[in-house]
Homo-oligomer: A and B are copies of this chain.
Amino acid sequence: MRATIIHGAGDIRVENVPDPHLREPTDALVRVVQACICGSDLWPYRSMPRSEAGERIGHEFLGIVEDLGPEVSGFRKGDLVVAPFVWADNTCDFCSEGLQTSCRHGGLWASDGIDGGQGEAVRVPQAQGTLVRLPVAEDSALLPSLLSLSDVFPTGYHCAHTAGVNPRTTVTVIGDGAVGLSAVLAAKRLGAERIILMGHHKGRTDLGVEFGATDVIAERGEEGVEKVRDLTGGDGTHAVLECVGLLPAIEAAFAVVRDGGVVSRVGAPQYPAVPMDFSVFMGNVTLTGGVAPARAYIEELLPDILEGRIEPGKVFDRSVDLDDVADGYRAMAAREALKVIVRP
């Protein structure tokens, strides 16, 4: 089959790889209908050292079950399913606590002999725990929103959820990427009435407003911080959702959080230490978040998508065939595209 291989920074290729097949009785085989490119895929796209052999890439996909191991129940061949971006048994103690990203028998896609999502098919380990059945047809118009359940929307939701967003919390979202916009949508769904979005790409913040942002702050750095302070009587907001992962973003987060408030971060951190001056301690500010256990949220979020109450798939603004996946990476890295669907 064909699959996406990254050979180094800027070097994305589609190559022939061995067809996947069932290996363990807990496996399923899924033919990919839609995959997509993640902001975190752009980190290796920007910095990976050159590799002759290359590595599989991609961790977001939905598709059709083509084969099932004997220990996988609850699914049938032909089911449309979505996979979260970490596979997990969904039964261990961590999974039972809703922390499938720490599953004792789980792992990451596209590493250690596991297929990546940006290809024609995927062998899914721990399939019964990993996959969630989607009760729609393969050609449903809901597919982009359902695909967003694999990572980007639950990641934004995890950010808002761990920050404790509720109808009484004011919220600042830092970052107008697909995760930031998903965090806006999540905060709105959790009842927040004041959602301040910090971002300076007009087309993206417009979608943020559609998703529920009540204020948009285009200024960066100190100027942007001042604006949030101005909007909140000098106090900052109860929750700050940091959806970037870079040092200036986490610094801004601590500068706009209200005393007693929470900074939640879901952008993979590209810094080794979090600067926290004494005011963070005196203000009793909490830092939470982390890699999102998407699996924990899929069943909760699914009905809202199926019944049309939310449309997180609006973060996808481009679609490419698998053969053109390199152009999808290029467009996202150049900020021409917000988030790109890949169709095998």
Contact = CB atoms under 8 A, between A and B. Distances in A.
Interface stretch (A16-24, A287-295, A331-339): A287-295
Contacts of A272: 275-277
Interface string A236-254: 0000000000000000000
Contacts of A130: none
Given A260-B94, A260-B97, A282 B291 contact: yes
Contact of A287 (B102, B268, B282, B286): B286
Contacts of A101: 282, 284
A79 interface: no
B283 A102 contact: yes
A273 interface: yes
Interface size of A as a range: 20 to 34
A269 interface: yes
A231 interface: no
B282 A276 contact: no
A193 B97 CA distance: 19
Nearest to A260: B99
A99 B275 contact: no
Contact of A281 (B99, B268, B278, B282): B268
A284 B289 contact: yes
Contacts of A48: none
Given A284-B101, A290-B283, A94 B273 contact: no
